[in-house]
Amino acid sequence: MAVDYIVIVAYLAGMLAMGWWGMRRAKSKSDFLVAGRRLGPAMYSGTMAAIVLGGASTIGGVGLGYQYGLSGAWMVFTIGLGILALSLFFSARIARLKVYTVSEMLDLRYGGRAGLISGIVMWAYTLMLAVTSTIAYATIFDVLFDVPRTLAIVIGGTIVVAYSTLGGMWSITITDMVQFVVKTIGVLIILLPVAVVKAGGFSEMKEALPTSYFDPLGIGGETIFTYVLIYTFGMLIGQDIWQRVFTARTDKVARWGGTVSGVYCLAYAIGGAVIGTAAKVMYPTGLGTADEAFARIVKDELPVGVRGLVLAAALAAVMSTSSGALIACATVANNDIWKRLRGLPADSGDGHDEVKGNRLFILVMGAATIVTAIALNNVVEALTVAYNLLVGGLLVPILGGLLWKRGTAEGALASIAVGGLAVVGLMWHYGILANEAVYYGLAASLVTYVVVSLATKATDAAVLANWRDRLAGRGGETPEAASVAVSQ
């Protein structure tokens, strides 16, 4: 096990070293928040896949495979579908806007009146997403080092906060690319075939397990529908995802690089479910929870050294999502809430002040994330709250703004307020994990948006003209101007 420890410690030290390297490239706000909008296809694809495939997709995906068989792939599969839809239909237009946050997009589309309330909702979502990722460190570090839960959260959270604070999106991009490679090797190339072989191959797996484990819809139609609503649509509008779209060098990179990421996610979903199904053959009983299946296979079936690499892959999955959520949370808190409350424009301050301010917000939000993660226990409930708020409150006004020119600021604001409050009330009434909250909350948001938009004056023609110009790539910040310090 000592060799495994060395592999893990070396990996963590490498993450910090890359954070220090990224600090040297973060010379402007654009560098710090969106990597200078300079990522090419390979790096963009890898980092996009890294942020969406976190601990829930890796450890949780294997756990769902253990519990339901191949249909356990649906949760991660719907994430991949969301990335595909975003990349093929929306990412090019989003990239051409040259903004930093979803709320800035809403301001452009609706004339500057939807930013603050949407920023608050998006901040709540990104904070809870960062918290759930940070909680996952407890499970991984318990397997690795048998340390108490609180210490595990502090160790993992501090490392992510450190490299994210140092170099912002540049540090996160480089570390995510490494994490993508480690996850691919550890989970798909090593653990997947080992699990299948140890389970006796697919023929033995079919003989040992009920036929429901090989039914593509075995997890249930309602569950799949809920996954689509929460995860597929959530991928279309989350600040953590959009902030990665903003890093693309061109709109073509955003479209086709993202498409590659989406396809990779689909393969990752199936791979995780197969590993979980194999684990059910090897450990038909004796696991405390389904999520223990991943760690159990790694500990029992992999040799020393290789085991450390695969555990590093699990750690990489958590860290990539955690760092992406953290910088998204800090960006929204600073640009969409703090500056608006002070009456400052989003681009106030010179380049040095902008980097310093955003670095401070990452540090503060990181500390808040660690403290909240220590206080909370239920990852599933926290993640459900995050996605319900996101989809119920912001899906309709964001997609409505992109697709329906008759949508108005009044309709957007009313939709956010009604959808958000409906989701919260319905979760309180039906329970946090009940599907009704997102079903009815989303329906209320849609009806409110359409009715109020039609009942109010259409958006000013000058606002729509500026919006069309930005969608076409005219106006806004240029990647070259934003990244001159890096390119020299």
Give 203-272 as a DSSP string: HHHHHHS-GGGG-TTTT-HHHHHHHIIIIIHHHHH-HHHHHHHTTBSSHHIIIIIHHHHHHHHHHHHHHH
Residue type, 176: D
| pLDDT higher than 70, residue 143 | no
If one compares 114 and 395, the residue with the highest pLDDT of the two is: 395
- Residue 76 dihedral angles phi and psi, to the nearest 5°: -70, -30
Rounded to whole angstroms, how far apart are CA atoms 281 and 69? 10
Rounded to whole angstroms, how far apart are CA atoms 212 and 409? 48
Tokens of 1: 């096990």
**Contact predicate 241/327, CB 8 Å:** no
Rounded to whole angstroms, how far apart are CA atoms 31 and 104? 18
**Contact predicate 213/70, CB 8 Å:** yes
**Contact predicate 118/242, CB 8 Å:** no
Cα angle 72-77-79, degrees, rounded to a multiple of 5: 125
| pLDDT higher than 80, residue 476 | no
The per-residue pLDDT for 3 is: 81
If one compares 138 and 461, the residue with the highest pLDDT of the two is: 461
**Contact predicate 420/119, CB 8 Å:** no
Residue type, 386: A
**Contact predicate 103/114, CB 8 Å:** yes
**Contact predicate 188/390, CB 8 Å:** no
Tokens of 452: 């109020």
Per-residue pLDDT band at 27 (split at 50, 70, 90) = confident
pLDDT average, residue stretch 434-459: 94
If one compares 243 and 317, the residue with the highest pLDDT of the two is: 243
Residue type, 249: R
If one compares 350 and 434, the residue with the highest pLDDT of the two is: 434
Rounded to whole angstroms, how far apart are CA atoms 317 and 40? 22
- Chain centroid to CA 64: 19
Counting residues of the chain whose pLDDT is more than 70, the rounded percentage is 93
Closest Cα partner for 69 from 235, 261, 199? 199
Is the domain spanning 1-376 CATH 2.60.40.420? The answer is no
The SS3 of residue 478 is: coil
Closest Cα partner for 238 from 372, 413, 78, 398? 398
3-state secondary structure 358-387: HHHHHHHHHHHHHHHHHHCCCHHHHHHHHH
Task: Give the pLDDT confidence of 207-254 residue by residue, as tens digits.
Answer: 999 999 999 999 999 999 989 988 999 999 999 999 999 999 999 999
Q: What is the DSSP letter of 111?
A: T
pLDDT average, residue stretch 361-374: 93
**Contact predicate 101/338, CB 8 Å:** no
The per-residue pLDDT for 1 is: 64
Per-residue pLDDT band at 11 (split at 50, 70, 90) = confident
Whole-number Cα distances in Å, 275 to 183, 205, 271, 287, 359: 14, 11, 6, 15, 39
Sort 424 into a burial class: Cβ within 10 Å, 0-12 / 13-18 / 19+: middle
**Contact predicate 327/162, CB 8 Å:** no
Tokens of 279: 């684990």
Tokens of 102: 């979803």
Task: Give the pLDDT confidence of 76-110 residue by residue, as tens digits.
Answer: 999 999 999 999 999 999 999 999 999 999 999 99
Residue ranges of the domains in the chain? 1-376, 379-475
Per-residue pLDDT band at 483 (split at 50, 70, 90) = very low
